[in-house]
């Protein structure tokens, strides 16, 4: 869900993309993004496209033909990174883990060792396709020791759980507006360290992508404000408002809210006899993948939730197709009212299949969590 204020911001009158008013707004958006990413990186900006463009921008600007890159693969988005990197001419070394589990530092170390000189080590912080929450700090250290840049996909994690770009030693990090930032899809916040920029500047050939060339983008997104492409003005209005809302709530409070609603949901699901599918101890707060019980058709269940209750949840992907469903609790959507409504609907639908569970039990367990927290 998106806050009404964000929708209203998109309906505001347009100004030119070089208008002084707009440039001032852009300055404040970039400052707020630095705050959100916990970075002082000068090159911090919203790319004019969705999260996947942030991914492509990172790889396209640092990779040259034949470069070795190490990518953690435990879901859709690590797999996508491999595709993006290899299309750009990289030689990809995968550090794999089963879908639903995290990439272990030992496996990352082995993949790094298999390279002669890795240019880049890349991981997905929050694997939206499985619900696995990847720890980053030790991997950052491994990348640094190997003389490689460290790249992190923070599309689903940013603004939903702690992420510290500078303190953790992340060189390239991108996100998307439509996950925990609670804005419509359309922009990809991106931040680049000075260390990564040196690699970009020292390229012999320009990056393969003109639209995503960080040198050209930097000339618009720094104080020069030189035209490169027309900034999507209404989307910037929306992002500005969404960031202001995040600032008003405060990051700590926002993370605590995501955590509490996840815990309440997990307690309710457990009372329904359902199991979370992601690795214990590494479960995301904003994306809950749930094992589909024996004898239940996941597509029929999702259809019933949508048609009978107006609730959309996600399907399992790749090897998890048909085996899990995915429940998002991101940004504005991470609210007790949504948790209660979902548990109640799920309880009713599962009761129809005679699984011996009741919505009332689920709600009781969920309220126990909210009661303990004094109600966030």
Ligand X SMILES: *Cc1c(COP(=O)(O)O)cnc(C)c1O
Closer of 49 and 290 to ligand X (Cβ): 49
CB of residue 302 vs ligand X: minimum separation in angstroms? Answer: 18
Return the range that interacts with ligand X (CB under 6 A); candidates 8-16, 122-130, 267-275, 295-303.
122-130
**Residue 158: partners with Cβ closer than 8 Å, 6 or more residues away:** 36, 37, 175, 179, 180, 181, 189
50 sits near ligand X (criterion: CB under 6 A): yes
Q: How far is the CB of 81 from ligand X (least distance, A)?
A: 9
Residue showing tokens 């050209």? 216
Contact criterion met (CB below 8 Å) for 124 and 131 = no
CB 353 within 8 A of CB 296: yes
Least Cβ distance, residue 157 to ligand X (angstroms): 8
Q: How far is the CB of 22 from ligand X (least distance, A)?
A: 24
Strand 188-192, strand 43-47: pairing: antiparallel
Chain position whose Cβ is nearest to ligand X: 51
CB-nearer residue toward ligand X: 51 or 118: 51
**Residues 132-171 interacting with ligand X (rule: CB under 6 A):** 153, 155-156
Q: Give the residue among 90, 98, 37, 34 at the shortest CA–CA distance from 60.
A: 90
User: Would you give the DSSP letter of residue 208?
Assistant: S
Which residue, 61 or 79, has its beta carbon nearer to ligand X?
A: 79
Should residue 358 be labelled a site residue for ligand X when binding is judged by CB under 6 A? Answer: no
81 or 345: CB nearest ligand X: 81
Burial class, 173, CB count within 10 angstroms (exposed 0-12 / middle 13-18 / buried 19+): buried
* Total number of residues that touch ligand X (CB under 6 A): 12
CA distance 362 to 264: 9
Give me 138's structure tokens: 């030790």
Which listed residue (9, 33, 124, 173) binds ligand X by CB under 6 A?
124
Element (H, E) at 133: strand 132-133
Q: How far is the CB of 156 from ligand X (least distance, A)?
A: 4
Strand partners, 251: none
**Parallel, antiparallel or unpaired: strands 314-315 and 43-47:** unpaired
Interface characters, 169-188, with ligand X (x: CB under 6 A): -------x--------x---
Tokens (6 digits) for 22: 């707009």
Candidates 46, 51, 207, 336: give the one binding ligand X (CB under 6 A). Answer: 51
Instruction: Retrieve residue 330's tokens.
Output: 């991101």
Among 48, 128, 139, 191, indicate the residue that binds ligand X (CB under 6 A): 128
Buried b (16+ CB within 10 A) or exposed e, 110-129: ebbeebeebbbbbbbbbbbb
Angle, in degrees to the nearest 10, between helices 51-62 and 214-221: 120
Residues 73-112 touching ligand X, rule: CB under 6 A, are: 77
Q: Residue 30 interacts with ligand X (CB under 6 A)?
A: no
Strands 118-124 and 324-328, sheet pairing: unpaired
Q: Which stretch binds ligand X (CB under 6 A): 24-32, 47-55, 142-150, 298-306?
A: 47-55
Residues that bind ligand X (CB under 6 A): 50-52, 77, 124, 126, 128, 153, 155-156, 176, 185
């Amino acid at each position: 869900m998106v806050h009404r204020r964000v929708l209203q911001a998109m309906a505001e009158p347009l100004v030119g993309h070089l208008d002084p008013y707009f440039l001032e707004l852009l300055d404040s958006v970039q400052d707020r993004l630095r705050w959100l990413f916990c970075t002082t990186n000068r090159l911090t900006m919203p790319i004019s496209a969705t999260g996947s463009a942030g991914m492509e921008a990172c790889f396209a600007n640092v990779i040259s033909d034949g470069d070795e890159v190490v990518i953690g693969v435990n879901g859709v988005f690590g797999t996508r990174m491999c595709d993006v990197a290899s299309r750009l001419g990289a030689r990809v070394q995968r550090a794999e883990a089963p879908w639903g589990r995290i990439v272990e530092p030992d496996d990352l170390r082995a993949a790094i060792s298999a390279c002669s000189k890795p240019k880049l080590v890349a991981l997905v912080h929050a694997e939206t396709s499985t619900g696995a929450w990847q720890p980053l700090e030790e991997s950052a250290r491994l990348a640094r020791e190997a003389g490689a840049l460290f790249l992190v996909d923070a599309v689903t994690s940013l603004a939903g759980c702690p992420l510290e770009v500078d303190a953790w030693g992340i060189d390239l990090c991108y996100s998307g507006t439509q996950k925990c930032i609670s804005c419509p899809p359309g922009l990809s916040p991106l931040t680049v360290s000075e260390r990564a920029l040196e690699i970009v500047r020292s390229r012999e050939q320009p990056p393969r992508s003109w639209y995503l060339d960080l040198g050209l983008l930097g000339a618009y997104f720094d104080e020069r404000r030189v035209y490169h492409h027309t900034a999507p003005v209404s989307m910037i209005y929306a992002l500005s408002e969404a960031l202001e809302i995040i600032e008003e709530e405060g990051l700590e409070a926002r993370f605590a809210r995501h955590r509490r609603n996840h815990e309440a949901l997990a307690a309710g699901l457990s009372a329904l006899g359902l199991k979370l599918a992601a690795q214990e101890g590494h479960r995301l707060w904003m994306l809950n993948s749930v094992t589909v019980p024996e004898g239940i058709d996941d597509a029929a269940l999702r259809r019933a939730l949508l048609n009978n209750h107006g609730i959309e949840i996600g399907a399992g992907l790749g090897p998890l197709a048909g085996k899990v469903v995915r429940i998002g609790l991101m940004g504005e959507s991470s609210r007790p009212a949504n948790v209660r409504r979902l548990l109640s609907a799920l309880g009713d639908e599962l009761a129809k299949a005679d699984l011996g569970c009741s919505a009332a039990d689920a709600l009781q367990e969920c309220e126990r969590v909210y009661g303990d927290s004094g109600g966030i």
